[in-house]
Amino acid sequence: MQRRTFLLKTLYSVMAIGLARRAHAQITDHSAHGAMAHHESNEEAIQSASSQSLDLRRLRSGEALLAPLPLVINKTLTPMRHEVQLHVQPASIMYTRDQVSTQMWRYVGDTSGNMLDVLEGDTLKITVHNHLSEPTTVHWHGLPVPADQDGHPKDAIAPRGTRVYEFTLPQGSAGTYWYHPHPHQRTSAQVAMGLAAPIVVRSPRDPLQTAGITEHVLMFTSLQLDAQAQISAHSMDEMMNGREGNVLLVNDQYQPMLMVQPNSTHRLRLINATSARYLRLSLGGLPMTPVGSDGGLLEKSLPIQTEILLAPSERMEVCVTFPDGMVELQALPYDKGWMDMGMSGMKPTAQTVDVMMIHTQGAKAQSANLPQRLRPIEALPAATVVRQMVLTEHMQMSMDHGQHSMVMDFMINGQKHDVNRIDFVAKQGQVEQWDIINQTDMDHVFHIHGDHFQVVSVEEKGKVTPATHLGWKDSVNTRAGQTVRIKIRQNQKGIRMYHCHVLEHEDLGMMGQYDVQ
């Protein structure tokens, strides 16, 4: 394996930053990171990185927003069994006006759609065909599926292989989810190639659906496209901070347009399916009423907000009434503690980005009255076990045969992920409290597989802020220096992973797994 080389100039700026952060600097080429190994690392290539990225004016925009196409759909009130085929395959997608298509990887169902739009109680039997030349798995992010159907990296589908996933959606699981690959150390690379798809699980007792509120699934993904409109390999900066991408898409469209009736109320199911891009979403100050989070509806709708922060992998459901005219859905700047090695000099989320335009047309509609109570949620009882999850980072430069290299490690409780190590054992049905302690210099979004958790409090600089509402989460953001306390109860046995959902950090080791017995 070839080691990465850096010019001294770059090295010194890295070391200076490393010292300032009291972090060691370590860089290495991990054999698993094929993308990194192929990345150009000479100074010239680095300095011209921004000029090598796509001129965004070449992208098609302003087209009508399309709803994701379903692979399975059940909009009745009776549970069904679905048996379908899903292909993980290369695809050419045309994002530009100038007929240059982007080579990507896609989930393509036998209906050509890939969204799962299902009802609680439905059974899914999905045969996944891997047409890639590397192993993959499918993880049903947030769905409480049995551990052996969860897409664990050890359950990889070999190239040209097939695997059947089968599970039944339990009562109470209604919500907005998504699925994505979870192979050993290749998750960020595969998601960067375009693998992600939405899931909606419905309940026969959804008060917003009963009130007849129109809904839209908005799944956000991002791509890093070069001047040839092709997906770039990860840079060092991107491994460290996570890929934010230069092209932010909604339902795979660049700056589409949604037409609605003036004064009509809509439920937006927002999914952050990017690898590492924090989305601070705004509708130009228009009030949004949060009604749901990762694990479905909240107990009650929350006070209106004019901004929504969606960390990678998080979902949020909001209701919005659109006034006559036009509003822009934008992603506002968000500082997650970007570690700049002075190589790209560019922080993608330092600017406001237009995501989607909403225009009103037609007759004035009657705005909806949102029900106050959305569904009963019981607070989890007192925890009998308390665990600490300490997030740390470690970077170290080394000199090897006259070449500089760097290893980046992201850890939980001082250890990098080992696919063969079980970090601890927990009891099925037992309530645990986890204190997620972020001792790094940047945000990390902590995700747990299996059942959902409830956020108890957030502590920062000694000040503890208890959670203000009840809802089910599977991912929670932690800012540098914060401690986030959660309560979780796993209701099924088996091995469950937990990790940072900045997927590059997951691949670099910020992941663990435990056995629920």
Q: Could you say whether residue 139 binds ligand C2O (CB under 6 A)? A: yes
Task: Classify 272 as helix, strand or coil.
Answer: strand
Task: Report the candidate in 497, 490, 499 with the shortest Cα–Cα distance to residue 451.
Answer: 490
Is 113 or 142 the residue whose CB approaches Cu ion more closely?
142
The one among 281, 283, 412, 497 contacting ligand C2O by CB under 6 A: 497
At position 33, the amino acid (one-letter code) is H
* Contact between 326 and 357 (Cβ < 8 Å): yes
The one among 449, 473, 489, 496 contacting ligand C2O by CB under 6 A: 449
Distance CA(212)–CA(227), nearest Å, equals: 45
The one among 246, 264, 313, 482 contacting ligand C2O by CB under 6 A: 313
Q: Could you say whether residue 444 binds Cu ion (CB under 5 A)? A: yes
The one among 39, 141, 152, 452 contacting ligand C2O by CB under 6 A: 141
**Residue 167 tokens, joined:** 């599970």
Distance CA(68)–CA(70), nearest Å, equals: 6
Distance CA(303)–CA(291), nearest Å, equals: 10
Binding at 502: pick from ligand C2O, Cu ion, none (beta carbon under 5-8 Å per type): Cu ion
Nearest distance from C-beta of residue 301 to ligand C2O, angstroms:
26
Q: Rounded to an integer, what is the distance from CA 124 to the centroid of its chain?
A: 23
Report CA dihedral (333, 339, 345, 347) to the nearest 10 degrees: -20
Nearest distance from C-beta of residue 510 to Cu ion, angstroms:
5
The one among 447, 452, 496, 505 contacting ligand C2O by CB under 6 A: 447
Map residues 388-427 to x or -, x wherever contact with Cu ion holds by CB under 5 A.
----------------------------------------
Point out which span in 192-200, 293-301, 448-456, 482-490 binds Cu ion (CB under 5 A).
Answer: 448-456
Q: Could you say whether residue 218 binds Cu ion (CB under 5 A)? A: no
Q: Could you say whether residue 180 binds ligand C2O (CB under 6 A)? A: yes
Q: Could you say whether residue 315 binds Cu ion (CB under 5 A)? A: no
Nearest distance from C-beta of residue 273 to ligand C2O, angstroms:
9
Distance CA(448)–CA(463), nearest Å, equals: 25
Spatial strand order in the sheet of 162-168: 102-109, 81-93, 123-130, 162-168
**Residue 504 tokens, joined:** 């590059």
Binding at 444: pick from ligand C2O, Cu ion, none (beta carbon under 5-8 Å per type): Cu ion
Map residues 138-177 to x or -, x wherever contact with Cu ion holds by CB under 5 A.
---x------------------------------------
- If 0-12 CB within 10 Å is exposed, 13-18 middle and 19+ buried, where does residue 78 land? exposed
Distance CA(240)–CA(430), nearest Å, equals: 36
Which residues have C-beta within 8 Å of that of residue 299, sequence separation ≥ 6?
373, 374, 375, 376, 377, 469, 470, 471
Binding at 497: pick from Cu ion, ligand C2O, none (beta carbon under 5-8 Å per type): ligand C2O
Q: Could you say whether residue 449 binds Cu ion (CB under 5 A)? A: yes
**Residue 263 tokens, joined:** 């004064």
Distance CA(293)–CA(454), nearest Å, equals: 11
Task: Classify 343 as helix, strand or coil.
Answer: coil
Q: Could you say whether residue 375 binds ligand C2O (CB under 6 A)? A: no
Nearest distance from C-beta of residue 170 to ligand C2O, angstroms:
19
Map residues 181-210 to x or -, x wherever contact with ligand C2O holds by CB under 6 A.
-x----------------------------
Other Cβ atoms within 10 Å of 71 Cβ, number: 25
Point out which span in 246-254, 282-290, 423-431, 496-504 binds ligand C2O (CB under 6 A).
Answer: 496-504
Which of positions 485-504 make contact with Cu ion (CB under 5 A)? 500, 502
Q: Could you say whether residue 336 binds Cu ion (CB under 5 A)? A: no
Contact residues: ligand C2O, CB under 6 A:
139, 141, 180, 182, 313, 447, 449, 497, 499, 501
